[in-house]
Amino acid sequence: MCRNCIFSFIIPLYNAEEYIAKCIDSIILSDLKIGEYEIIIVDDGSEDKGADIVFSYCKSYPFVQYIEQANQGSSVARNAGIEKATGDYIWFVDSDDYLDSALLGKIKNDIIENHFPDIFAIQLKLIDGKTTRIECLQQKVRHNVVLKGRDAILNGYQPSSACAIICKKDFIKKHQLRFYVGISHQDVEFSMRAVALAKNIYFSDYQAYIYIKHNGSVSKPKTVEKQYFYTIGDMYVALSHQKFIETLEDKELQDYILKWSNNILFNLVLSIKRSKNPLIDKNFRKKVLNDMRNHGVFPLQGPFTSWKIWGLSKLLNLRYII
């Protein structure tokens, strides 16, 4: 229990014994004061010694909590962390990544100075060997001012990693925001809904989240089953967003998210058509399209965000219907 703390860092743990200490240290060694944060580690059925490392932190730091569950995926782990969080803000961190310790205090101060917005957005620094690039830039959205979430979306916000949006706990609980369980691309699904519901959101230029591309950490699916799970996740994201907009009263926002979700479906069909991945063969494509038909999203219907996509969608429909 963390009384009056600002941040609840929620970290799903799965076979990350090599990285979890650096992840936790990046928070503890920051300029945040004791009592301003808690760290909630949710062990998602790890099979290595990561839990032992976490236990050592729990003994030394009472604000580090350990929760254990059977392996159910990061969505379930994050949702479990949300239920335990007591801080003003929830920040999702993956166990093989870490934060820029020097920026956490600045982020806390900016949150306070901007009157505790529903969401405080940051940028991700991806390090891949000797290459570094910045992600979640959100270049089409105004930065360093407080915006309405709907305005951010209508101006081109691109949902991405949930680690890039620090959400007010009361906001999450008010709207019962939880991660979609059992799909891929759950961060995109969550982020779009969260931003759409935010009355106020602040996009900062802080590159506070360090994402390391470890050898083998981001590998292509090696079986047909895993490839299918990864691919069909786009359909479930689109379906979820189309169901979500039924709860909105903002017609302009509804129309935009509908078009955006239909773009996802278009890109899904286009990607399996163009793919040279040997796992994505004729039977794979047939299975995807049958699944889409069964959910009422194929043939592609639109509306889309452009006439070009609309025209290409007609060609894709003909290609697969005839």
Domain ranges of the chain: 7-212, 224-321
> Within 13 Å and on the Cβ side, how many CA atoms surround 147?
22
Q: What is the pLDDT of residue 178?
A: 99
Low-confidence ranges of the chain (pLDDT < 70): 1, 215-219, 321-322
Displacement of CA 48 from its chain's centroid (Å): 25
Q: What is the pLDDT of residue 129?
A: 78
Say what the alpha-carbon torsion angle 220, 222, 228, 232 is, to the nearest 10 degrees. -10
Please answer whether residues 289 and 320 qualify as being in contact, where contact means their C-beta atoms are separated by less than 8 angstroms: yes
The Cα–Cα gap between 263 and 267 comes to 6
Q: Is the bond preceding 221 in cis, omega lying within 30 degrees of 0?
A: no
CA torsion through residues 33, 40, 2, 202, sign: positive
Q: What is the pLDDT of residue 1?
A: 60
Tell me the one-letter amino acid at 200. Answer: N
pLDDT per residue as tens digits for the range 254-268: 999 999 999 999 999
Q: What are phi and psi of 124, to 5 degrees?
A: -110, 135
Fold of 7-212: Spore Coat Polysaccharide Biosynthesis Protein SpsA; Chain A (3.90.550)
**Please, is 131 exposed, middle or buried when counting C-beta atoms within 10 Å of its C-beta (0-12, 13-18, 19+)?**
exposed
Q: What is the pLDDT of residue 170?
A: 98
Given strand 124-128, what is the order of strands in its sheet?
A: 98-99, 209-212, 124-128, 131-135
Output the pTM of the full model. Answer: 0.95
Structure tokens at 236: 């479930």
Q: What is the pLDDT of residue 217?
A: 47
* Short-list 96, 126, 123, 93, CA closest to 22: 96
Mean pLDDT (the chain) is 95
The Cα–Cα gap between 54 and 13 comes to 10
